[in-house]
Amino acid sequence: MCDIVYKNGLKFTCTQCSKCCRFDPGFVFLTYSDLDRILLYLHLSKNEFIEKYCRTVNIGEQKRLSLIEKPDFDCIFWNKGGCDIYNSRPLQCRTYPFWKPFLTDRDAWDREAESCAGMNNGSVVDKEAIENCLVLRKTENYILL
Ligand code: SF4
Ligand code: SF4
C-alpha cells in the first residue's frame, strides 16, 4: 500500500538546516558500497578509516559499522560548511527522507516532516526517484561485523 503515499511524488527540497547531521545522537550505518566510495574519496585504507571515523553498534544479534559523532553529537563529518564527504556520503544520508518507515502512510511521512523542514517543501520528487531510494536501501548490504 505504500505506493499510495508517493504515487504522485512527494514534496521535498532540503533547506540545509543540518538537523539530520547534527545536535542529536544517532547512527549512520555504512554499506559496503559506502565504505568503498568513502575510502576512495578520503584516500584512506580501510583500517585507517574505521579507526578514525567509525564505531561498532550492536543491533540485536548483529554488529554494524556506524560513523562516530563529535561530543556535541554532530556527525564526525559535519563542518561549518556542510558535510565534508557530501559527494560520497553514505546511502543512509543520500536516501533520506525516502525511507520505508516514513512512506507507509501519510501520517508517517507528516510525522517525520516535523523533524525535517525539507519535507512537504519545495519541488516534487517523483515516484521513480523515490522508488529508486527504496530499491537502493533494500539491495545495498550493510556492513556486518
Ligand atoms: S533535516 Fe531535512 S531539511 Fe534539514 S538538512 Fe536534513 S534533510 Fe535537509
Ligand atoms: S555523513 Fe555527511 S550527510 Fe551524512 S550525517 Fe554525516 S555530515 Fe550529514
In angstroms, the CA 133 to CA 25 distance is 24
Q: Which amino acid is at 40?
A: L
| Residue 100 lies inside a defined structural domain of this protein | yes
Q: Which residues contact 33 (CB under 8 A, 6 or more apart)?
A: 91, 140
Q: Is residue 104 included in any domain, yes or no?
A: yes
Which of 10, 12, 13, 14 most suits a substitution to test ligand 1, by most atoms within 8 Å of the C-beta?
Answer: 14
Domain housing 27 = 3-139
Query: Is 107 inside any structural domain?
Result: yes
Taking the alpha carbons at both ends of the chain, their separation in whole angstroms is 34
pTM over 0.85, yes/no: yes
Contact assessment for residue 26 and residue 135, using Cβ atoms and an 8 Å cutoff: no
Q: Is residue 50 part of a domain?
A: yes
What pLDDT, in 10s, does the model give residues 23-40? 999 999 999 999 999 999
81 pLDDT tier (thresholds 50, 70, 90): confident
Question: Could you read off the pLDDT of 41-59 as tens digits, one per residue?
Answer: 999 999 999 999 999 999 9
Considering its fold, how many domains does the chain have in total? 1
Residue 70 lies in a domain: yes
Does any domain span residue 145? no
Residue 93: inside a domain = yes
Ligand 1 centroid distance, CA of 109 (Å): 14
